[in-house]
Structure 1
């Protein structure tokens, strides 16, 4: 097997364990990422899942997909509980680690919403087990019995947890009219031009009066330690960006966004949320540890299992 987790001509076909893992790799990554809000940690969960899966006797496995999801969920939950303790002492707002996505992910509206910054921040308010149950049930429609095995609860308890988590998310889910991918890209193009020209009037035409800007520097770089609220305040921040930064479009967490670069280094990943034709939320991830994985990253295709190929979690140490 080569460094991309692909079989070579000399090796012939994958062995059954590898083939099953690669088939479901994007599904496993998505489950882990939505539970953790971190692409780097989701990749680590994939490696841990592979190590455990490689030692399983496949003759004893009735449903390979369910078995792999169970391993990945348990590993993600263990990691999330440890991360929660660290996030309590995080400097400034904590934002999910940005995920570069393929442009067509935005066409899959439900999937795009579920990996959006706005939704991941809502999921962050759930307890770890609630978050795992919500992701498995509401996003992937996993049966209650399978979820019960994954989170080590009874099916009856899982149903109660799912109901509680569903209500919690519904009360906090971002509101606003639906915006098509084409409208979003058009708004982002105008937003990029306004930033590039430093035109505050043009910016004010694009952002909502109660727009919120969250900046995540993690204490490592300059960033606001509290949300910046209001069109005038946010516009002043954007107009004051370093003019030496280059600004280019990309797709972040299922929606068009911007990457700000200083020379060949990514300075900021800027994700946005639009509603009713205006930008209502801006998420500026500046913490270098959260941007490191974006250098040379292959956009996540958003497949939930199926065609093998290099995706998140593929590396030299395993599939």
Structure 2
């Protein structure tokens, strides 16, 4: 069999159409669970039986004729080393999920201790079929490998694979620098949350202009604190609603001092956003600062006065200051009382 010429443009086009082609074939876009629900009996039989290759079906090149092979024939006729040497042709061929699963198993048997990096870099769509356990066997140190696989997974249901890949990359001694972080921010922005706070400090603030709003909202607190500091610098030269729209996704990491700064920027924070702030950041704010922060939305405090963080903030304010808002907020420190901060008590042995 003589394979058709493969060019950069044709490979790119194949990558674009492959996921939808496969979804039409199986009716389930989820990998690999959807695959195993489609035709498990036939697939497992093909894997298990290891039948000999039928006469005339021997495979000497990876080309489009393989789409006409059954899973059993692929299992028997495709040799793992041949597949590994021609992996970059796979994405140009409209294989079904079941066929791709067989090809993945061929690679597993060829490299039982984990794929070498030159194979990993050329996995293409097969990356969406590997498991985190597979990835944990890899030794990924090249930023080009990371880039290739992030491109494949972009827009696809491969979050578990991406998380395992980045964790493996970061833990394997690869150099994490501002270029690495910029690449991840472009191809898989939510994956920035997987880096340590120390690594995220290398991120250049201007990169956040390219990150889709909300992509980083689920970051852990320590990472979000670093990202907020980056966003604060990145967007400092815009004002009003535009500024608030940009900074809002990062407010999970905002400090009290930055909330005070925001209160002077006339942003009119809505109560929904205010409710999502950490109470530790909100509690030290004065009544005047919260009024300035919320602007016309300050009236919405009444509906939330028994909910955190509003209640946590109320109980630390003087009642007379709360009364100045004219909202009927109750629960503050009674007039004439002093709030005394008690020293930390010794812990139990």
TM-score higher than 0.5 here? no
Who wins on radius of gyration, i.e. which is larger? 2
- Structure ranking higher in strand proportion: 1
- Structure ranking higher in helix proportion: 2
Answer 1 or 2: higher relative contact order, Cα 8 Å, separation at least 6.
1
**TM bracket, shorter-chain basis:** under 0.3
TM-score (norm 2): 0.20
